[in-house]
Chain A
Amino acid sequence: MKQKLEEIKVQAKAALEAADSTQAVDEIRVKFLGKKGELTAILKQMGSLSPEERPVMGQLANEVRGEIEEAIAVSLKEMKAKAQTARLEKEAVDISISGKRKENGSLHPINSALEDLIDIFRSMGFDVVDGPEVETEYYNFEALNVPADHPARDMQDTFYLTDSMLLRTQTSATQIRTMESRKPPIRMIAPGRVYRSDDVDATHSPVFHQVEGLVVDKGITMCDLKGTLEQMAREIYGKDTKVKFRPSFFPFTEPSVEVDVSCSECGGKGCRVCKGSGWIEILGAGMVHPRVLAGCGIDPEVYSGFAFGIGLDRLTTTRHKISDIRLLFENDMRFLKQF
């Protein structure tokens, strides 16, 4: 009997070795381990054994069963693995083909630049406010320290709708509206459209965009202005960007400065983009004129502030190296899709 059991074991293993499908393995399981299988047949003969032999043979039979079962499991596992490998191989795709997706649109480059500026300034605690595009002379000029017939009015050519209403030439008008309606501390930016009667060419557009900035608080200094603009310039143009102040004149700030950033193209060495100077002019700024503060009911002896006006279209064109501002307003799909 013992010999028989050994034989079964050897036969089963050999059969498994030869099996080439899960079905064949199942047949082997039935043949050897099934109710009518060979091992069962032998176990049925146990009764003929002596009581001493019975436990020994029983144990041996269980061991053989265990070994065959294990061999079957191993065989099945291998087969499954093999089948899976074959399937995966067959299913391989050409990964160089583009993915399937819905085309995404995009914001206009002016507005995506604006969104970046809004993020930067909101993180510094600036509120974003809006003002009307059709303004009164008072808000666009007089309250900004530019009385009628003042030579500073020549700085901008204005579109008039009536004697006293015009298309705002600067977002600075929103400074006044903000100072009239809020108490310091004030930190705000006012983005928006502005209008000047400039003929259209590669660098001029009668409609363009500005982002006005205003801070009013106790103890605000020109160093704060520079710190704020440095932070903005680094985030927009790169972390090594330098900021330079040049004295200038705006009626509503005193002192007034033009603000240059180091050219991001050449790093300040001088190139075609910066016309050899190493610097690009991006905005005008200054400390809020005491007359402007007083006109809005803010005591210039107690409070000080700074203001700046970023030319958004120019920032956009220098940032993306767009050679002609007209492209921004033409809206050719081949242009828009690049952003």
Chain B
Amino acid sequence: MKVSLEQLKRYVEINVEPLELCDRMVMAGFEVEEAINTADTMDRVVVGKILKITPHENSDHLVICQLDVGEGEPVQIVTGANNVFEGAFVPAALHNSHLPNGMNIKSGKLRGVISNGMLCSGEELKITEEEYEGASVNGILILKGEPKPGTDMREVLGLNDWIIDFKITANRPDCQSVLGIAREIGVVLGTKFVPPVPTYKTIKGDINEKISVEVKNFELCPRYIGRYVKNIKLAPSPDWMKRSLIASGMRPINNIVDITNFVMLETGQPLHAFDYRDIKGGKIIVRTAQNGEKMTTLDGKEHTLNDSMLVIADANEPSCMAGIMGGLNSEIKEDTSELFLESAKFKRDSVRRTARALGIRTESSARYERGTDIMNTKYASDRALQLIDELGAGEIYEGVIDCNNGLPEERNLSTSVQKINGLLGLEISGQKMCDILNSLHIPTTLEGDTLNSKIPSFRDDIEFMADIAEEVMRIYGYDHIKGSPMNAQVLRGTITPERALDNKIKSVLCADGMYEITTYSFISNHAIDVLGLPEEDKRNQIIYIRNPLGDEYSAMRTQLTTSMLTVLATNINRKIPSARLFEVSKRFMPKALPLTEQPDELKTLSLGLYGEGEDFFTLKGEVEQVLETCGVTAKYVRAEEPYLHPGRSAKAMVGEKVVAVFGELHPETAEKFGIDTRVYVAEVYLDMLLNTEKPLVIYQPLPKFPAVNRDLALLCDRQMPVGDLIEIITKAAGKSLENVALFDIYEGAQIPDGKKSVAFNITLRSKEATLTDEQVESIMNKVISKLSAAGAELRR
């Protein structure tokens, strides 16, 4: 809510500097978005009287002006405008001046002729026709009257005001008005708040002969006040009213429209003026629209209405969307001679819903949506009539139409001083609280420990003791709150097992040189297609956002890999040679589509690697590391993920459950992401690994007897998995086997085609005694014969 200081000062005494006022209001709960001194916008721009104009010898469109700028000696300024004449009074920007459009003017030569400044147009001074007549003329602004040369232009234009933009919180609709803010300023500064008292002349006449009002829905329109004014004389508004409107961001139009807008800004109560002759049948009917009923609003747009929308209709058709915007058919026109003035209370929720549905937001709807005060409708109507009377804009009939279904009774609220102090942790006296509440225009008396308050109708937000506590506190001052340690039994802060597991995994990964990333939970609606998953794959069951910021962010992800690939691609495109990344986040898996209940949010670890030295096995190493941290031993089988390299991808199985899928990215998928290097990605389904915590370590006695090491070089089919060979060795060697380690795989010279050489180092040890040569021989023979049976022959 933008308010001019000049206007505020009409209702409340302001005895501090504008910036201090801002600070004090912030500490009372009114954040200041911006405070602008209108005088700061220009400097060294003065009134100049053109004494003489001579042609410019090097230009046929420039002329040389000699001006009286009140400095004794005339000042020479060159201009290109063709509307200047000798004897004209014009704004002259002198050497070293500053204009509202950001320009700084200095002396200089224009085509060889000295110019000690610039003559200004209305546009250059950022003033409009509404603010100063002639400001929109194409050329230099010719000033009215005969202002004294040298007078500061700010004085001429009345630029010595402050415009303060207060942020009004949703609980204070009463402060969506200049008077509401002025009232708070009075409380904060402890100065007197004097709202206008509306009085006006009326003429005899029966309003009921002119018009009747029928409210068909008191639920949506609890009060409707109507007045009739005749002999309307449309004219421009006075400057003070125009300035207030402009300061609050509204455009002056004519005295009647301006009065309704001015009073809305002043009181917070929207008003609407109808051209009386357009009200068919002399009837105003407040009703909900019929489904499919059409109406064209002031902005020329046609809307199709439904029966949840409240309209103000005449005998034939809707002429106003209640509280939102008037109809084109009944607006004030240049020849309007009679008007009907509406001041009504419409239900907050209904205006909000209708405005949203129509896609309209006006100053009026914004106020109704926040909530207006039913008791303020009469005041605002009277205030508007007062201004009509004062400006001689019309003659007011004495009668009032006031339709309502009973006005609300005064609310009383009793609160305990002790309980308020108990909530705040302070010892404020009951009398102090009572004084603060009274200063806030909440009439309150103190009886022992009890504060008895009458809640004014404009403070609907006050319902509980806590609300009273807040009112007391924001005026008493939050600086009185002193931090104290909490007084309670000793509590132990715990974390969930999920978080504990995440922490362990993350520390293991960080120790392995992996960096954590954070990506959005939503992905593009096409992202999943890139993976080429079969139709029935669960990851294709996607939850879409109804109102996304764009296609790019429209789907809740069912996998983390595409997000990871986007990050890898970004790094690769930026020529970063290598990356080791991980993310722990959620997959959103619907239980059913369309969504009927909250989806499963499954914790998932995503890994992504590229760069020198990275391969399938460095990735598998990280996966193994994570699974070991989770305390599970997995079996690895080939994966069938279409986005992974078919020969270099695997899934980790625990029993029947897939706990991880990983491998090198398929070159086709890589291409789709603009990735031109080998990258390795994994997803580990942490939700599957939750209750598998690594068991506590039980100490094993250190070996008492020496170990025996034997190397074994085998020749087998190229396809034979090393894992199978190890399994055979492990089984055959039995309990004396301590370790079997792969140390070489070789294909090529001396190895027949389709075969490979695999070499292991085998460690044998007995817990009972030193193994004899015979025992070792016997174990090794058994191992060799079992291997041979499986097609792996000892290389001789």
Chain A residues proximal to chain B, CB less than 8 Å? 102-108, 110-111, 118, 121-130, 132-136, 148-152, 154-155, 159-162, 165, 167, 185, 187, 193, 195, 197, 199-200, 206-207, 215, 217, 219-224, 226-231, 243-249, 251, 254-258, 287, 289-291, 304, 328-334, 336-337
Enumerate chain A residues within 8 angstroms of B369, measured Cβ to Cβ: 151, 154
B407 is an interface residue with CB less than 8 A from chain A: no
B231 is an interface residue with CB less than 8 A from chain A: no
**Which residues in chain B, 511-530, are within 8 Å of chain A measured between CB atoms?**
511-522
The proximity string for B residues 522-549 relative to A, scoring 1 for CB distances below 8 Å and 0 otherwise, is 1000000000000000000001111111
- Contact in complex: B426, A105 (CB < 8 Å): no
User: Can you list 28 A-B contacts with CB-CB less than 8 angstroms, sorted by A residue number?
Assistant: A104-B510, A105-B515, A108-B516, A111-B518, A122-B495, A127-B494, A128-B495, A134-B588, A149-B349, A159-B545, A161-B556, A187-B491, A193-B521, A197-B547, A206-B522, A206-B549, A223-B425, A224-B425, A226-B481, A226-B484, A244-B479, A251-B170, A287-B423, A329-B519, A330-B567, A331-B518, A336-B515, A336-B516
- Contact in complex: A333, B488 (CB < 8 Å): no
Minimum C-beta distance from B421 to chain A (A) = 9
Cα A226 to Cα B426 in complex, Å, equals 13
Enumerate chain B residues within 8 angstroms of A336, measured Cβ to Cβ: 515-517, 581
Cα A30 to Cα B347 in complex, Å, equals 120
Nearest residue, chain A, Cβ from B464: A290
Enumerate chain B residues within 8 angstroms of A247, measured Cβ to Cβ: 27-29, 470, 473-474, 478
Minimum C-beta distance from A224 to chain B (A) = 5
- Contact in complex: A106, B576 (CB < 8 Å): no
The proximity string for B residues 720-758 relative to A, scoring 1 for CB distances below 8 Å and 0 otherwise, is 000000000000000000000000000000000000000
**Which residues in chain B, 613-628, are within 8 Å of chain A measured between CB atoms?**
none
Minimum C-beta distance from B577 to chain A (A) = 9
Our pick among A105, A228, A229, A257 for the contact of B512 (Cβ within 8 Å) is A105
- Contact in complex: A134, B493 (CB < 8 Å): no
Our pick among B173, B464, B473, B491 for the contact of A125 (Cβ within 8 Å) is B491
Nearest residue, chain B, Cβ from A223: B425
- Contact in complex: B491, A331 (CB < 8 Å): no
Minimum C-beta distance from A155 to chain B (A) = 6
Enumerate chain A residues within 8 angstroms of B484, measured Cβ to Cβ: 221, 223-224, 226-227
Our pick among B494, B518, B595 for the contact of A328 (Cβ within 8 Å) is B518
Enumerate chain B residues within 8 angstroms of A217, measured Cβ to Cβ: 488
Q: Assuming the A-B contacts A187-B491, A247-B478, are A206 and B579 also in contact, with contact meaning beta carbons closer than 8 angstroms in the complex?
A: no
- Contact in complex: A127, B495 (CB < 8 Å): yes
- Contact in complex: A332, B574 (CB < 8 Å): yes
The proximity string for B residues 148-173 relative to A, scoring 1 for CB distances below 8 Å and 0 otherwise, is 00000000000000000000011111
Enumerate chain A residues within 8 angstroms of B594, measured Cβ to Cβ: 162
Chain B residues proximal to chain A, CB less than 8 Å? 26-29, 31, 169-173, 348-349, 352-353, 369-371, 422-426, 464-467, 469-470, 473-474, 478-479, 481-496, 498-499, 506, 509-522, 543-549, 553, 556, 567, 570-571, 574, 576, 578-582, 586, 588, 594-595, 598-599, 601
- Contact in complex: B425, A222 (CB < 8 Å): yes
- Contact in complex: B425, A105 (CB < 8 Å): no
- 15 further A-B pairs in the complex, CB-CB below 8 A; given A185-B491, A255-B466, A337-B515: A105-B514, A107-B510, A122-B493, A123-B493, A152-B170, A161-B595, A222-B424, A223-B426, A224-B425, A243-B483, A257-B478, A290-B464, A331-B519, A333-B515, A333-B571
- Contact in complex: B493, A127 (CB < 8 Å): yes
Cα A53 to Cα B488 in complex, Å, equals 97
Enumerate chain B residues within 8 angstroms of A108, measured Cβ to Cβ: 515-518
Minimum C-beta distance from B607 to chain A (A) = 11
- Contact in complex: A226, B482 (CB < 8 Å): yes
Minimum C-beta distance from A159 to chain B (A) = 5
Task: For the complex of A and B, list the 9 residue pairs with the smallest distance between their C-beta atoms, beginning with the closest.
Answer: A221-B425, A122-B493, A125-B491, A223-B425, A255-B470, A247-B29, A249-B169, A149-B349, A227-B483
- Contact in complex: B520, A206 (CB < 8 Å): yes
Minimum C-beta distance from A310 to chain B (A) = 16
Cα A206 to Cα B547 in complex, Å, equals 12
Minimum C-beta distance from A325 to chain B (A) = 11
Cα A102 to Cα B513 in complex, Å, equals 7
Enumerate chain A residues within 8 angstroms of B474, measured Cβ to Cβ: 247, 255
Q: Assuming the A-B contacts A149-B353, A197-B549, A226-B484, are A105 and B518 also in contact, with contact meaning beta carbons closer than 8 angstroms in the complex?
A: no
Enumerate chain A residues within 8 angstroms of B486, measured Cβ to Cβ: 124, 215, 220, 224, 227-228
Minimum C-beta distance from A138 to chain B (A) = 11
Enumerate chain A residues within 8 angstroms of B487, measured Cβ to Cβ: 219, 224
Cα A118 to Cα B578 in complex, Å, equals 32
Enumerate chain B residues within 8 angstroms of A215, measured Cβ to Cβ: 486
- Residue among A104, A130, A304, A331 having the largest count of chain B Cβ atoms under 10 Å: A331
Minimum C-beta distance from A263 to chain B (A) = 16
Minimum C-beta distance from B16 to chain A (A) = 18
- Contact in complex: B567, A331 (CB < 8 Å): yes
Could you tell me the dominant secondary structure of chain A's interface residues?
mixed
- Contact in complex: A290, B465 (CB < 8 Å): yes
Enumerate chain B residues within 8 angstroms of A152, measured Cβ to Cβ: 170-171
Nearest residue, chain B, Cβ from A123: B493
Nearest residue, chain A, Cβ from B26: A246
Q: Assuming the A-B contacts A108-B516, A160-B546, A331-B570, are A289 and B482 also in contact, with contact meaning beta carbons closer than 8 angstroms in the complex?
A: no
Nearest residue, chain A, Cβ from B584: A111
Cα A246 to Cα B28 in complex, Å, equals 8
Enumerate chain B residues within 8 angstroms of A159, measured Cβ to Cβ: 545-548
- Contact in complex: A133, B601 (CB < 8 Å): yes
Our pick among A207, A221, A230, A256 for the contact of B522 (Cβ within 8 Å) is A207
Minimum C-beta distance from A135 to chain B (A) = 8
- Contact in complex: B478, A245 (CB < 8 Å): yes
- Contact in complex: B495, A332 (CB < 8 Å): no
Minimum C-beta distance from B460 to chain A (A) = 12
Cα A152 to Cα B171 in complex, Å, equals 8
Enumerate chain B residues within 8 angstroms of A243, measured Cβ to Cβ: 483
- Contact in complex: B499, A331 (CB < 8 Å): no
Cα A118 to Cα B499 in complex, Å, equals 11
Enumerate chain B residues within 8 angstroms of A332, measured Cβ to Cβ: 570-571, 574, 576
Cα A150 to Cα B514 in complex, Å, equals 46
- Contact in complex: A133, B521 (CB < 8 Å): yes
Minimum C-beta distance from B500 to chain A (A) = 10
Enumerate chain A residues within 8 angstroms of B492, measured Cβ to Cβ: 125
Nearest residue, chain B, Cβ from A294: B464
Enumerate chain B residues within 8 angstroms of A149, measured Cβ to Cβ: 348-349, 352-353
Q: Assuming the A-B contacts A126-B493, A128-B499, A193-B521, are A105 and B513 also in contact, with contact meaning beta carbons closer than 8 angstroms in the complex?
A: yes
Cα A132 to Cα B591 in complex, Å, equals 14
Our pick among A160, A187, A195 for the contact of B493 (Cβ within 8 Å) is A187
Minimum C-beta distance from A253 to chain B (A) = 9
- Contact in complex: B514, A227 (CB < 8 Å): no
Nearest residue, chain A, Cβ from B546: A160
Enumerate chain B residues within 8 angstroms of A257, measured Cβ to Cβ: 478
- Contact in complex: B172, A304 (CB < 8 Å): no
Minimum C-beta distance from A23 to chain B (A) = 37
Enumerate chain B residues within 8 angstroms of A333, measured Cβ to Cβ: 515, 571, 576, 578-579, 581
Enumerate chain A residues within 8 angstroms of B580, measured Cβ to Cβ: 105
Cα A334 to Cα B515 in complex, Å, equals 11
Cα A208 to Cα B411 in complex, Å, equals 42
Q: Assuming the A-B contacts A105-B511, A222-B481, are A289 and B466 also in contact, with contact meaning beta carbons closer than 8 angstroms in the complex?
A: yes
Cα A271 to Cα B574 in complex, Å, equals 34
